[in-house]
Amino acid sequence: MADKDYRIYARIKTIEFINFRNIEYGKVDFPNARIEDFKCGSPSILGLYGQNGSGKTSLIMALSILKDLLSGHSIENNYLSSVRVGCDFARLRFVITLFDDFGVEYEAHYQFDLKTEVENYSLDDNEFNIDPPQDKSETLKVYNEILRYRRTTANGTEDPLQDIIDASVDSSQKAGYSFGNKSKYELLIGKDKEVEQKMRDAKAASYAKSRSFIFSKDVYTSINTNESIAHYKELIAALHTFGMAYLHIINTMNTGINNLKNDIPLCIWSDKNGSLRIAYVLLKTMGANQVPEDFYSFVTEAINGLSGVLGTIVPGLSIEIKDNGLASNEKNETVHVFEIVSNRNGVSIPLKYESDGIRRIVSILSLLIAVYNQPSMTIAIDEMDSGIFEYLLGEILQVLSESARGQLVFSSHNLRPLEVLPAKFLCFTTVNANNRFIKMPDVSANNNLRDKYFRNIILGETEELYAPTDKYDIELAFYQAGNDLDTKG
């Protein structure tokens, strides 16, 4: 999308939820997300804790939707449950802070609505005499997008918060254009009717394909090249680049224990001479991997770096590359063929036969290395504790909370991090759907947040954090379920 290579420095500052999944209203403020924080290298860590089904995964899902939209991709249909039951729409608002190498600072405000829509069945779809579907399929649609910004120039001049593109239905109808207000549209796009028709077509196509209109290529290429509005275009390009290259979501759908037996997704990167290179590779845990010849050194360098960190986490363990040389693929292209093996105290085995926990660590370690070193990396990991020994989890998070340069968001059921992370890095879900996320105050040196969390669950000192359960009720339910089975048998 961008006309040139952008070096993006960005962090998510706030997420606000309205009618999203089981959240009627919730707001999360990310620690150390001001520009001055990450300019000076302060890490931004947010750990999510709470009862099952209380909103932890919802936050990770919201970030995944954000990545799809900023990147210009369609929203995954896995997110059909985004709209709260009984509501017509869900709304997400994000505040993202950015700055560039020229001293210009931005605060971008991006919001959109989501709704489910039943796909219409047309007779045109029946040209091959296919029977109409019994169940009409639903899709998740994005609409009412608004992008606002506040800019601070290198000399300290601050602009007020203002719209760049308001593509909401009401504003578009009022302006008479594909987005409003009228004066801003004409400033960015002009008055050419053919261009406006192109915008209307692009907006309709974006809606149909469940993707962003604002971050579509059609909008970006249609904005005037006038120097006075160049910063609008640069900000859109910066947010797009952030979504494409710097925002990464690890959920249980792609790195759950059961999904890592045969393939492991790795984000590999290098940063040399001011040039950042990022790529995703799906590595086979057993058998031959193929990459383009000129890509092989990039992969080996990244895996060797990962192996070095792995050896400090699991003493005696390393990941090695078994080089099988050059070959031709089915397209007659020259590729480098290699295998990945684990080496434990001199004994090599295919990575496929390593433990579930080791494969899980390998799958997320490249991103943790990136978030430790890169100030613009934002990594969100659902159930980070899955398959990882709790003491090791605490060690890793403590290192990141002290020295990481990027932003890490994670959910966990293991409470070890509550003993090692400052309170500002932790967020707790409540049973109150209208106030779903809260922070807790710092605790004294002779106490820890884990104790305070349990005390709040028992005593309800702040918002109710846990829907009450009773072990005797649980025991009775177990007994009755077993006896019912016996009776039916």
Which range is most confident: 75-79, 131-135, 325-329?
Answer: 325-329
Average model confidence (pLDDT) across the chain:
83
DSSP annotation of 158: B
**Residue 303: C-alpha distances to residues 133, 274, 387 (Å):** 47, 21, 21
Q: Return the closest-CA partner of residue 187 out of 132, 225, 137.
A: 225
Positions of E strands within 258-377: 263-272, 275-284, 289-292, 317-328, 334-344, 347-350
Report, as an integer, the average pLDDT of 207-222. Answer: 94
pLDDT in tens, 36-62: 888 888 899 999 988 777 678 899 999
Instruction: Answer yes or no: is pLDDT of 28 > 90.
Output: yes
Q: How confident is the model at residue 125 (pLDDT cuts 50, 70, 90)?
A: very low
Indicate the residue type of 470. Answer: D
* Tokens standing for residue 109: 């405000």
DSSP annotation of 84: P
First to last CA, the chain: 65
Indicate the residue type of 35. Answer: I
Can you name the residues that pair with 347 across neighbouring β-strands? 344
**Cα angle 111, 115, 118; round to 5:** 155
Residue 363 confidence (pLDDT): 83
pLDDT in tens, 67-78: 999 999 999 878
pLDDT in tens, 86-110: 999 999 999 999 987 777 889 999 9
Longest Cα pair distance anywhere in the chain, in angstroms? 80
Lowest mean pLDDT across 13-17, 117-121, 187-191: 117-121
As to burial, measured by CB atoms within 10 angstroms (0-12 exposed, 13-18 middle, 19+ buried), residue 486 is: exposed
pTM, two decimal places? 0.85
**Residue 67: C-alpha distances to residues 7, 34, 195, 409, 441 (Å):** 18, 20, 28, 14, 31
Report the distance separating Cα 147 and Cα 162, nearest Å: 9
Count the alpha carbons within 13 Å of 200 in the hemisphere toward its beta carbon: 10
DSSP annotation of 395: H
